[in-house]
Amino acid sequence: MPPDLKTYEAVIGLEIHVQLNTATKLFCDCRNQPGDAPNRHTCPVCLWLPGAMPRLSAQAVEKAALACLALHCTLAEESAFDQKVYYYPDLPKGFQLSQHHKPLAVQGWVEIADEEGNPRRLRIHHVHMEEDVAKLVHETEGRSPISLVDFNRAGAPLIEIVTEPDMRSPHEAMEFLKSLRTQLRTSGSSDCSLEQGTMRVDANISLRIPGTEALNTKVEVKNMNSIRNVGDAIAYETVRQAQCLERGDSITLHTRLWDPDQRVTTAMREKFAGPCVPDPSVPVIRMDEAWLAAIRKRLPEMPAAKAQRLAAAYDLVPQQAVAMSQEPDVADFFEAAVGRGVAPHQAAAWITTHLMPALRDRNQALGETRLTPDRFAGLLSLLDQERIHAGAAREVLLLMLGKEGTPEEIVAEGGFLQVSDAAELETLVDNVLANHPTDVADFRKGNPKVFGFLMGLAMKASQGKANPRRLKELLSERLKNL
């Protein structure tokens, strides 16, 4: 029998690794481009050869600090690196430089909308910096399985964000990640792509009886490469643990992997936590007030503030302002289009109802398309001049995402031009009226519904290209004078 989930409450905390988009690695001058050809970006420091001394990257500390400010954290006056000791083929030096005892920042929060749409703050326990490990690539050579090591990622700068166990449902965990991603992208410190691996999420899940405070043994789930997967994995794990408890089995601390094809979690290993000892080679980071003030000034306008400003400055519907502010490049695009003469309410409506859904469908960022504010403004001006109608404008907009050329050229090429020519429209209307004498008679007897029917026929005869306003005028005029 499936367990009664109302008996239990899920307690969810997340640990999120985010790769900072710095030019170089955390402790050396090698390029921070883990996706390049294997082992292109290595040196004695990031190959972890004995005796090589790490040099902390100032840019990595700046980007990490920007991220912490975007998450409303308090930066520690003093933070320091520890050696987190464990041995694994992707970490041959035997320890990872990470901030365990003195993290970079503490006590932040991210705001989400809960299932009823009410704002809810989810707390962040701390944020620390650490170096990434190398990447293991498993292949076969002849019949033998072999493992290769790619050191491009070794020493790449990461921050790890550890939340409080504040989330109670897959929905809240997914909303948290979306909101976190928006804040971090806006801060300019990371691309935060689960698909590309620049954001990696571990979820800690335990169950308890609602109303009790105790935190039970948690299970860690890894290997989710989309926000949707995180939600699915948490939902699956909640049911699995409830079934264990119903059977009277105890839950042990361990790590499980999400299998996106089978849509289940499978046990991976006992969770291992090695000792952490202070590292003597990297200097302590001391926050200087003047430095921090300068970083604070560099923090771009954050989504919540941007939404408020756009709504007030351009008199927009709040939902449209909020939606555009989630993506910094979309909000910039909106303001650029308005700067080119598009009416703010028109630009906002087209961006939120046509452009943003199209980008989501294509899984593309605005910058990856060929649409520019200039071309967008050009298209909407064709619409305003009634040279194309709204349906055609929408199709042309979609074409412009992947196609060069002025809006006029694309409109002409695709035959989207609206027919406004009086003589052409008159012939259309006259033909329709001549071919439907019974309906015309009906209309003259006082059945107003026939008008829409005749209008539809005329529009169809024009293959949808007639200027609807002029067509309507012409049809009423003709019917009146019959």
The residue ranges that bind Zn ion (CB under 5 A) are 28, 30, 43, 45-46
Of the pair 30, 105, the CB lying nearest Zn ion is at 30
Rounded CA-CA distance 333/339 in Å is: 10
Closest CA to 360 of 401, 388, 389: 401
Amino acid at position 438, single letter? T
CB of residue 150 to Zn ion, shortest distance in Å: 13
Rounded CA-CA distance 407/400 in Å is: 8
Of the pair 43, 302, the CB lying nearest Zn ion is at 43
CB of residue 393 to Zn ion, shortest distance in Å: 52
Of the pair 43, 417, the CB lying nearest Zn ion is at 43
Of the pair 129, 177, the CB lying nearest Zn ion is at 129
Other CB atoms within 10 A of residue 275 CB: 11
Residue 17 in 3-state DSSP? Answer: strand
CB of residue 24 to Zn ion, shortest distance in Å: 8
Of the pair 282, 324, the CB lying nearest Zn ion is at 282
Residue 31 in 3-state DSSP? Answer: strand
Reading the block at residue 442, the tokens are: 């009906």
Helices 422-435, 437-444: inter-axial angle, 10-degree rounding: 90
Of the pair 19, 206, the CB lying nearest Zn ion is at 19
Provide, for the chain, the percentages of residues in helix, strand and coil under a 3-state DSSP scheme, each rounded to the nearest 5: 40, 25, 35
CB of residue 153 to Zn ion, shortest distance in Å: 11
Of the pair 11, 30, the CB lying nearest Zn ion is at 30
Amino acid at position 305, single letter? A
Rounded CA-CA distance 66/288 in Å is: 14
Of the pair 51, 452, the CB lying nearest Zn ion is at 51
Amino acid at position 57, single letter? S
Torsion of CA 284, 289, 293, 295, to 10 degrees: -10
Closest CA to 451 of 473, 434, 426: 473
CB of residue 189 to Zn ion, shortest distance in Å: 21
CB of residue 86 to Zn ion, shortest distance in Å: 21
Of the pair 43, 113, the CB lying nearest Zn ion is at 43
CB of residue 32 to Zn ion, shortest distance in Å: 10
CB of residue 139 to Zn ion, shortest distance in Å: 24
CB of residue 198 to Zn ion, shortest distance in Å: 19
Residue 289 in 3-state DSSP? Answer: helix
Closest CA to 400 of 373, 428, 421: 373
Long-range contacts, stretch 248-255, CB < 8 angstroms, 24+ apart: 250/217, 251/206, 251/216, 251/217, 251/219, 252/217, 253/217, 253/218, 253/219, 254/219, 254/220, 255/219, 255/220, 255/221, 255/222
